[in-house]
Structure formats: structure tokens, C-alpha cells
């Protein structure tokens, strides 16, 4: 089974429409099925459109896998329970105010592990300013997944956007020790 583990929705608030990779939801699903992709994990860019992720997932429940995007610097870990109750299977972390392995985020990881959710960590460069949130590549480096993997050995970790200079070296050993996957 081929699963696209990382796609972002785009929301046009004026039109009330949701798209993925520039295609309407139905068109995206049809395109993916033509090329052999059976499911796609979808998330938001900036922790702003989680309900629209849920709406897209509910519109195509046999295809879309919901991934919630919390703002761990503002949200309570209870949001993980909400995402799980919506049927989301994972979380996406990006634009954090601290390193991913800061203990302040451990309650989020603990909740995700208790629900058997995976966490997709953005470990690469970002093209924009983070919707007003602080952005630092230093805080998003793959090396921070090592601490999380040690503290939560049953939590499935995914590092997205590997391929940035230096990040490859940091991530090289992670999959050997933990339930970690690295994607480009």
C-alpha cells in the first residue's frame, strides 16, 4: 500500500473551498488513485485549519488520514484528545517556540503515545514566516527526535523534509534505534 504521509490542505476562506496540492479534494483523490497512492495524510500549515482537515477527512474517509496541527506553545495537551476523538491518526509539529525535545512538549507526546498516534515533525527549512509564530531551524533539527524517541519508545516519529545540509547526518542513526521514519 502506498500512503502519502505528508500533504497540506489549502483553504480559500472567501470561496469556502479546500484543496490539496492545488486540486479540489475529489480531483486530488482521483489523481492519487490513478498513480497508485491509496491514502494521504493531510494536515494544516499553521494550526489554523484543523477543522477543515477534519472536514476533508470526513468527505473522503476511505482516502484521507487526518493529522492535527497543535500549537504546543499556546494549546493545552487536551487538544490531542480532541484530535483523536475526531479520528485523526497523527500530529504535525512545526514552528515551535522551543526545541522539539523540550520537556514542556512531553505532555503532548505522552497523549499521542497513549492514543497510538504518530507525530510528523517538520525537520527542514520553511518558506514563509510561520503565520506570526517564531521560526527557527535550530528548534526543528532531527537531532531533537533522539530525546523524544528515548523518552517515548512506543511513539512513532516521522521526520519530514530531510535533505537539508547537516540534517542528514543528525538523522542517519535515528531509524535504527526508535520507531522513526525520515522522509524527503
Domain boundary (32, 64, 96) is at: 64
Tens of pLDDT, residue by residue over 25-64, are 999 999 999 999 999 999 987 778 999 999 999 999 999 9
Domain boundary (14, 38, 64) is at: 64
pLDDT value at residue 137:
76
Tens of pLDDT, residue by residue over 83-98, are 999 999 999 998 899 9
- Do 74 and 159 fall within a single domain? yes
* Residue 167 belongs to domain spanning: 70-184
pLDDT band at 159 (very low <50, low <70, confident <90, very high): confident
Q: Give the cell for residue 155.
A: 511513539
Q: Give the distance from CA 114 to its chain's centroid.
A: 17
pLDDT at 182 over 80: no
- Do 3 and 58 fall within a single domain? yes
Total domains in the chain come to 2
| Average pLDDT of the residues of the chain | 87
- Do 78 and 30 fall within a single domain? no
CA-nearest of 37, 96, 35, 102 to 69 is: 96
- Do 80 and 169 fall within a single domain? yes
pLDDT value at residue 184:
46
- Do 128 and 166 fall within a single domain? yes
- Do 89 and 178 fall within a single domain? yes
- Which of 10-14, 88-92, 145-149 reaches the highest mean pLDDT? 88-92
Which of 70 and 130 is assigned the larger pLDDT?
Answer: 70
* Torsional sign, CA 122, 139, 152, 165: positive
pLDDT at 68 over 90: yes
Which of 173 and 10 is assigned the larger pLDDT?
Answer: 10
- Do 59 and 104 fall within a single domain? no
- Whole-angstrom distance, CA of residue 134 vs CA of residue 144: 18
Task: Tally the residues of the chain.
Answer: 184
pLDDT at 167 over 70: no
Residue 95 backbone class (left: φ over 0; alpha: ψ -120 to 50; beta: rest): left
Using only the alpha carbons of the chain, give its radius of gyration. 16
- Do 82 and 140 fall within a single domain? yes
- For residue 167, the surrounding DSSP H or E stretch is helix 167-171
- Do 3 and 60 fall within a single domain? yes
Residue 79 backbone class (left: φ over 0; alpha: ψ -120 to 50; beta: rest): alpha
pLDDT at 162 over 80: no
- Do 134 and 169 fall within a single domain? yes
* Torsional sign, CA 98, 84, 132, 126: positive
Domain boundary (22, 41, 64) is at: 64
- Do 153 and 128 fall within a single domain? yes
Give percent of the chain above pLDDT 90: 64
- Which of 8-17, 78-87, 146-155 reaches the highest mean pLDDT? 78-87
pLDDT band at 165 (very low <50, low <70, confident <90, very high): low
pLDDT at 163 over 70: no
- Whole-angstrom distance, CA of residue 139 vs CA of residue 98: 6
- For residue 145, the surrounding DSSP H or E stretch is helix 144-151
CA-nearest of 81, 80, 64 to 72 is: 80
Beta strands in the chain (DSSP E): 3-12, 17-20, 23-24, 39-43, 64-68, 90-93, 118-122, 157-160, 180-182
- Do 11 and 88 fall within a single domain? no
CATH number of 98's domain: 3.20.20.140
Amino acid at each position: 500500500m502506498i500512503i502519502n504521509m505528508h500533504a497540506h490542505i489549502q483553504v480559500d476562506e472567501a470561496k469556502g473551498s479546500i484543496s490539496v496540492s492545488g486540486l479540489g479534494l475529489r480531483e486530488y483523490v482521483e489523481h492519487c488513485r490513478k498513480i497508485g497512492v491509496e491514502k494521504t495524510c493531510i494536515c494544516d500549515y499553521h494550526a489554523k485549519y484543523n477543522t477543515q482537515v477534519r472536514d476533508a477527512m470526513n468527505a473522503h474517509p476511505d482516502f484521507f488520514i487526518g493529522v492535527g496541527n497543535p500549537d504546543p506553545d499556546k494549546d493545552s495537551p487536551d487538544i490531542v484528545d480532541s484530535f483523536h476523538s475526531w479520528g485523526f491518526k497523527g500530529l504535525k509539529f512545526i514552528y515551535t517556540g522551543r526545541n522539539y525535545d523540550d520537556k514542556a512538549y512531553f505532555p503532548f507526546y505522552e497523549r499521542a503515545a497513549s492514543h497510538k498516534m504518530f507525530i510528523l515533525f517538520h525537520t527542514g527549512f520553511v518558506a514563509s514566516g510561520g503565520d506570526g509564530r517564531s521560526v527557527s531551524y535550530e528548534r526543528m533539527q532531527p537531532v531533537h527526535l533522539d530525546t523524544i524517541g528515548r523518552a517515548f519508545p512506543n511513539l512513532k516519529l516521522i521526520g519530514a523534509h530531510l535533505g537539508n545540509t547537516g540534517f542528514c547526518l543528525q538523522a542517519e542513526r535515528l531509524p535504527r534505534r526508535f520507531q522513526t521514519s525520515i522522509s524527503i
